[in-house]
Structures are given as C-alpha cells and as structure tokens.
C-alpha cells in the first residue's frame, strides 16, 4: 500500500503543510501583533485608552473569528484571486488562513500584554517614557514569554485549519487524509497522515515551549 508513489505524495504533503503553516503564522503575526497591541493599549485600562478604536477592532476581530473557516475560505476566493493571482493551491490557501488567524493571534497578543504588571508600566511612566517607548521597551519585553507561548498555540491551530485547504486544492497532509481516508476508504494512508500531523504539532509545541522557557527570567 505504501508504494513509492504514495510515499512521495506524503512527503509533498508534509512540505505543503509546513509551507502553509509557517507562512500563514508569519503573516498572521504581521497583522495580528500590531492589532493585539492596539487592542491592549486602547482598552479602557490600557496606557492610551481610545473607546472608539477599541470598539471597532474588537467587533471586527470577533466577527472574523465567528465565521467558520470553510465558509471564510470560499467567501474570500475573489479577494484571494486579486492578491495571489489564482484562487487554488497552497499559496492561495495562505490568504484565508492569514485572515482567519490574525484576529485570533491579536486576541492572544492582547491578553499576553494585559498580563504585564501595571506597576512596571507606572515606573516607566515615572521615568518619562512615551507611550511608544512603553510598548516597545516594556510591554513587548515583559510579555515576550507569554507571546511566544501564544504563538505555539497559534501554530497548532493554523496547522489544523490548513487541513481544510483541500477544498480549494491547497494540498497538504490534511487534504491527503480527507481524500484517501474519507472518500476512498484507504484507512492506512489516512492513519499515516494523521500520525504525521500529530508529530508535527508535537514538534512545534515542544520547540515553542523550549524557546519560551529560554527567554523567561521571571
């Protein structure tokens, strides 16, 4: 059953899964990190409260998080086409993955930043630090470990979402598991791919936690 054709397909699947996960997480943080910082800073207990801005971002991120990923994937097809030029394939899947991951990442970043001791922020203010300096040199530094732990959870979730990429021909391990295991009753291939997915999530989790612990001096 695991002939060379299947093996090469699975290897390709691993590559596609990693490609989608890594780039989606990367771009997800590019959007989600600033968004999370703005949410934490503009909240009423934040260092620069702004009720209107907070409300808008709050509602927006909740709407995006409420839409099931499969629906989002289809809804975003025209948008994806304008960005990457086509609406199918691994690269095209990164677009909806990023849109789905960014608000989720923003919420995790927001909660990490809110954990920073208000006394430390007050101390920085008493030294004459500006809002921007406090964000850069206090909030992001003190919340570093918590943000890294969040990223570890984020990677796992995005990897799970990427399994739905098959819908738009995105490929990856999840796609193989669905196509062979669900549609063709080839359970052996399904089990192998699922085990590989588990191993990948475990590896990301382990690496993330190691990294977070290394940076933690509390």
Q: Which residues contact other proteins (rule: CB under 8 A)?
A: 117, 119-120, 122-130, 133, 137-138, 141-142, 144-145, 215-218
First to last CA, the chain: 52
Q: Which residue, among 26, 24, 47, 21, has the nearest Cα to 140 in the 3D structure? A: 47
**N residues, the chain:** 218
- Min CB(151)–other proteins separation in Å: 16
C-beta of 61 vs 145, nearer to other proteins: 145
Cβ atoms of 139 and 115 within 8 Å: the answer is no
- Min CB(204)–other proteins separation in Å: 23
C-beta of 12 vs 144, nearer to other proteins: 144
C-beta of 171 vs 208, nearer to other proteins: 208
Q: Which pair of tokens denotes residue 7?
A: 């093996």
- Min CB(205)–other proteins separation in Å: 22
C-beta of 60 vs 209, nearer to other proteins: 209
Cβ atoms of 113 and 46 within 8 Å: the answer is no
Cβ atoms of 96 and 76 within 8 Å: the answer is yes
- Min CB(160)–other proteins separation in Å: 31
What would you measure as the largest C-alpha separation in the chain, in angstroms? 69
């Amino acid at each position: 059953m695991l002939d060379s054709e299947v093996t090469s397909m699975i290897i390709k699947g691993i590559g596609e899964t990693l490609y989608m996960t890594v780039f989606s997480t990367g771009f997800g943080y590019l959007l989600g990190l600033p968004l999370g910082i703005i949410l934490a800073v503009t909240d009423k207990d934040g260092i620069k409260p702004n009720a209107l801005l907070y409300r808008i971002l709050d509602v927006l991120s909740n709407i995006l998080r409420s839409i099931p990923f499969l629906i989002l994937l289809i809804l975003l097809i025209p948008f994806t086409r304008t960005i990457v030029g086509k609406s199918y394939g691994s690269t095209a899947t990164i677009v909806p993955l990023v849109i789905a991951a960014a608000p989720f990442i923003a919420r995790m970043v927001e909660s990490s930043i809110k954990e920073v001791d208000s006394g430390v922020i007050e101390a920085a203010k008493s030294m004459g630090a500006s809002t921007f300096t406090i964000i850069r040199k206090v909030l992001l530094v003190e919340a570093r470990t918590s943000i890294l732990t969040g990223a570890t959870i984020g990677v796992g979730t995005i990897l799970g979402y990427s399994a739905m990429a098959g819908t738009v021909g995105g490929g990856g391990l999840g796609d193989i598991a669905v196509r062979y295991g669900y549609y063709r009753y080839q359970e052996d291939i399904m089990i192998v791919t699922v085990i590989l997915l588990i191993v990948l999530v475990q590896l990301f989790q382990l690496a993330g936690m190691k990294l977070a612990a290394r940076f933690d001096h509390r």
